[in-house]
Chain A
Amino acid sequence: MEEDCNHGMYTQGQNQPMDDAVLAQRARTDGDAFAELYCRHVPGVYRYHMAHTGNVKDAEDLTSQTFMAAMEGIRSFRGEGSFAAWIMGIAVRKKALFFRRRKLEAPLEAAEHIPTPGLSTDKAVFQLMQIESVSRSMRKISPDRAEALVLYFFGGLTSLEVSQVTGKSEAAVKMLLSRGLKDLRERTSLVLEVEP
């Protein structure tokens, strides 16, 4: 949510969910409002999908699906929680569907080697390698913990929002985050792979 969107409706104090809620209400009848929400949340949604899929093609596809679904269902957002948590819930669902069929039909190794078009610079390739390492590492730890970590660090949610998306208490989410970090440190070579 930290990007400047320049849609002329940018609201500051972004960590205040109500601001998004107002926009979401306007977005029912105002395409610019939805565009503003899109602009704010596309980085988090994309990062979330990148962290899980590890490749650009799938992340872009899932990001598209997430926002298309969000637009179709924008009227269902009533502001009970933050918009970020709401749209990330959609992202979780889209990701779940994606992995559901992949899990049944394809070995993970194959999934990891789907080519990633559109990146040509060394920097981009390096960054892609990093996110691929993250994605691989997340698959090696408890799914609950991985989900909490990805929602928190890549989706940009607060622990409270993660709790709203995952249906767990905030205390439980913090425990999952703490345990997840420990898992990544102890059970994966993520630090060795990603540290500069």
Chain B
Amino acid sequence: MKDDQIIAFAQLLDPEDERISALLQRVAAQTNVNHQFQIELELRLKKAYKPKGIVFTTSLAKLATTLASILALISLIFFVDWVIRPLMPQSKLASGNIVTPTMAYPEATPTPSEHLNKPSPTPNSTSYSWNGTTLYLQGTLPDSPAEANIYRLQPDQRATLDEAVALAGRFGIQGEVYRSAGDLPGTTDYVITDGKQWMSIRSDHYFTYYADYPNSQVLSGVEINAAEAAANIKAFLKSHGFNFEYKIDSTDMWGKYYITPLTPDGFAVHIEDLRPSGLLITLDDSGQVASVQANLVDYQPIGTYAIRTAQEAWKTLLDTGIQAGKLEWFSSPSGPTREWLRNYPMNQTETIYSYVSSIPSAEAGKTPLIMVGMYMASGNITGLDKVPSNTLVEATGQFVTDGGITKFKVDSWKVTPLTEDGIEGTLELVNGQVTLSAQEGNFQLADVPADIPLPFENAFVAGVRLGNIYDWTSIDNRGGPGGGGGGGGGGLGFYKINFSGTPVPLPTPVPTALPPGQQPTGQKIEGQRGLLRVTIYKQSDGSQRVEYALAPWNGTGSFSYMILEGDLQSLQAYQNRPVDIWGSVDHFNQDGTPVVKVDRYEVPFPDLQFQILKGTQKNVQLAGQPATLFTTDAGRTYVQQTPGGTVDRSEIGHEGDLVLIEALVIPSESLGGYQVLVVFSAQMAVSPKSGQPSELTITADQPYVMEKPQTSAAVTIPPTATVEKVELVYFVSNPQFATGTNTGYPYLQPAWRFYGHYSNGDEFEVLIQALPNEYLLPELAPFISPG
């Protein structure tokens, strides 16, 4: 762990978070690899090492898509996690004066909107400086109602078995009832399935429905016409007894739509992370409902209060010095993802590799639900319920239709030592055979769907390796364009509501520090000394670009690294040598690194040469900090410094071992009375493996050469942001994951919602507390983050 990094990060933290930051750091430091395991793995690696292996043509783009694939996969996992866990029962909502989304209001005309999965155009309107970028307001701010309500959240009641069965009945599921782990620790939810339709039910507010569970992971990537989508959703809701007033909004999640119930006064309820409280519906490629995820809240009115206008909220949004009374989220859009699942022929004996799961019945004495992959298992399933979950089995049997439900009829099975993995590569025809060409090797795939366009780059294939055969289970394109789903938040949260009637002063907002990359440019750099870093980027077209950078020493502390621009060619001979520069910060690149326009420079020690020194090291305390002294075999002692200018606490081998170091002795720099030695590399003077003297050569004087084309460090224009929608909503911290120790804040309060997109396609949302100060307390309301 990088201590200075942690310290720097901790300085940005709420003091209360420093404690948990330190705790994580400590636990990480105490989490050590078992020594025996480490040695054994190293031996295995050495044994498997093939220096003359196949040269792969993986490119930066490939690496990037690999990372994208990883992100997409994570997103899928989290999606599946979110989707599978919640369950739901029959509505028992509207009772007494409790305001509920069901059956409380006449059906309204849904308002489908266009799919927003693309950057919005920047309107030709007034621009505002906001969060280090330019913000545009599309259209005008809406008129504001004088008053709005406050509602009190009602606790969620877990479904009984009968309620769960009744709710499933609304979806036409006539199946057995099972119990699975709930979304909160120590809880269980109901699972009701007929083998095709599947419902997980926690309550009538939190449930998940799949129309075709075995194929629920299939992502068609087909975009449905908005009007058709709205019509289908409307028909579905009506036929399934959802009679509340609602609106329909498309989302930046491919194929998904929010169905948002409206409050009695006609507004949506929003929870965190750009999400309204309501139903998230996924449509299949025919436009029919494939899944429903419910997150509904139950509430009752408390009273009516005056609110701030949209204009006042807009001013608060623009004032980045104000963080309380504000909540911000942003998210990267998910592009169209296409996935194919392995389709096995019916009524033919097949051997498949799949994970087995067993879900106990909710009723005593009944058999558990045995699933082989996503299919119900029948036939010779004796003993499968005893197999530990997460066990991969080799099962032989047939896919059969039983009452219209596809099941896997098991003839025989055994636990397999094989493991499932995922390979990213290109699917292509090689000698008439569909082949997956990947870093891991080339694998032949059988039964590849005919609608997969070949060659298919960036394919992510999951399955089991059987020699050069890949027994695949799914193929998707998440390694390519698409993915997304990343995001984050900002703002400190909303103040608690002051119900006393006596106003309480709120603290004056304190301007917050701007994050890196959003700092003002023009900062003067006066004689900053640091180590020069020269990197030559070789472009694919044979050309090259030379980048000059400085790792400042003992500077202003503002920057730990800066890229230099100007007439610097003569500096190329001074790689890793100290340089003094004068100039100013011209801009920040996309990584937030300052780019300095250099007015002039000096090389303070033009004759400084790298040396290979032999000696011993010793750890000491120097000037109040740990440091490492290096004493040459000639008896000269130095204090070690990293090329970045910080005290080097590294030690090779054990204290007192004879080591070789590649270093610069800096004439004018000292610490604790010792001359500074900048260390670039080091090794044991005697190889611990061979017992032979080792050699160390000077390489630090050579510019780094990168063979891959790099993104230019030239000016990167930050994405602009456009507010596309301003509306009054009610906000409540998502109660779905409330626990006994954090029940959140039980009020739905009015908030101005500013929603839009960055020019790079990311969507964002800012909620501004709409209650004026006289109704607020100087204390932030508890906040429940999405789980």
Contact = CB atoms under 8 A, between A and B. Distances in A.
Nearest to B692: A8
B42 interface: yes
Contact of B27 (A118, A134, A142): A134
Interface string B56-87: 10111011001111110110111011001000
A114 B459 CA distance: 33
B20 A190 contact: yes
A175 to B, nearest CB: 4
Nearest to B60: A80
B482 to A, nearest CB: 12
A22 B680 CA distance: 12
A14 B646 CA distance: 12
A12 B642 contact: yes
B650 interface: yes
28 contacts: A4-B652, A4-B653, A7-B689, A13-B650, A15-B642, A16-B643, A21-B704, A35-B45, A65-B421, A75-B53, A75-B55, A75-B56, A78-B59, A96-B74, A102-B390, A110-B181, A154-B24, A159-B5, A160-B591, A166-B71, A166-B486, A167-B332, A170-B591, A174-B515, A183-B785, A184-B20, A186-B782, A189-B741
Contacts of B129: none
Interface in A94-138: 96-97, 99-111, 118, 127, 130-131, 134
Given A8-B684, A101-B390, A131-B27, A60 B37 contact: yes
Interface string B15-41: 011011101110110111110011001
B17 A153 contact: no
Given A156-B28, A160-B591, 9 more contacts: A6-B688, A42-B41, A47-B28, A56-B34, A68-B48, A100-B76, A168-B486, A189-B741, A190-B20
Contact of B70 (A89, A140, A141, A175): A89
A96 B72 CA distance: 10
Interface string B596-633: 00000000000000000000000000000000000000
A31 B51 contact: yes
Interface string A159-171: 1100011111111
A22 B699 contact: yes
Contacts of A105: 355-357, 371, 389-390
A39 B185 CA distance: 37
A59 to B, nearest CB: 9
B67 A167 contact: yes
Contacts of A170: 516-517, 591-592
Interface stretch (B295-303, B487-495, B503-511, B749-757): B487-495
B51 A187 contact: no
Contact of B651 (A4, A51, A72, A96): A4
B49 A141 contact: no
B2 A156 contact: yes
Contacts, number: 322
B670 interface: no
Interface string A63-99: 1110111011101111110000010010011001101
Contacts of A97: 73, 420-422, 462
Given A43-B33, A64-B41, A106-B357, A144 B27 contact: no
Contacts of B689: 7-8
B386 interface: no
Q: How large is the interface on A (under 10, 10 to 19, 20 to 34, 35 or more residues)?
A: 35 or more
B51 A28 contact: yes
The 3 closest A-B pairs by CB, nearest first: A106-B389, A76-B58, A107-B181
A153 B422 CA distance: 27
B681 interface: yes
A147 B67 CA distance: 14
Interface of A: 2, 4, 6-16, 18-19, 21-22, 28-31, 34-35, 38-39, 42-43, 46-47, 50-51, 56, 60, 63-65, 67-69, 71-73, 75-80, 86, 89, 92-93, 96-97, 99-111, 118, 127, 130-131, 134, 140-145, 147, 149, 152-154, 156, 158-160, 164-179, 181-187, 189-191, 194-195
B34 A60 contact: yes
A96 B77 contact: yes
B706 interface: yes
Interface of B: 1-2, 5, 9, 12-14, 16-17, 19-21, 23-25, 27-28, 30-34, 37-38, 41-42, 44-46, 48-49, 51, 53, 55-56, 58-60, 62-63, 66-71, 73-74, 76-78, 80-81, 84, 180-181, 185, 273, 330, 332, 355-357, 371, 374, 388-390, 392, 420-422, 439-440, 462, 483, 486-490, 515-518, 533, 535, 551, 591-592, 640, 642-644, 648, 650-653, 661, 679-684, 687-689, 694, 699, 704, 706-708, 710, 737, 739, 741-742, 782-787
Give the interface SS of chain A, mostly helix, strand, loop or mixed.
helix
A189 B742 CA distance: 10
B158 to A, nearest CB: 17
A187 B24 contact: no
B1 A12 contact: no
Contacts of A11: 680-682
B51 A30 contact: yes
A178 B392 CA distance: 38
A19 B374 CA distance: 47
B67 A13 contact: no
B614 to A, nearest CB: 14
Contact of A63 (B33, B273, B388, B737): B33
A63 B41 contact: yes
Nearest to A58: B390
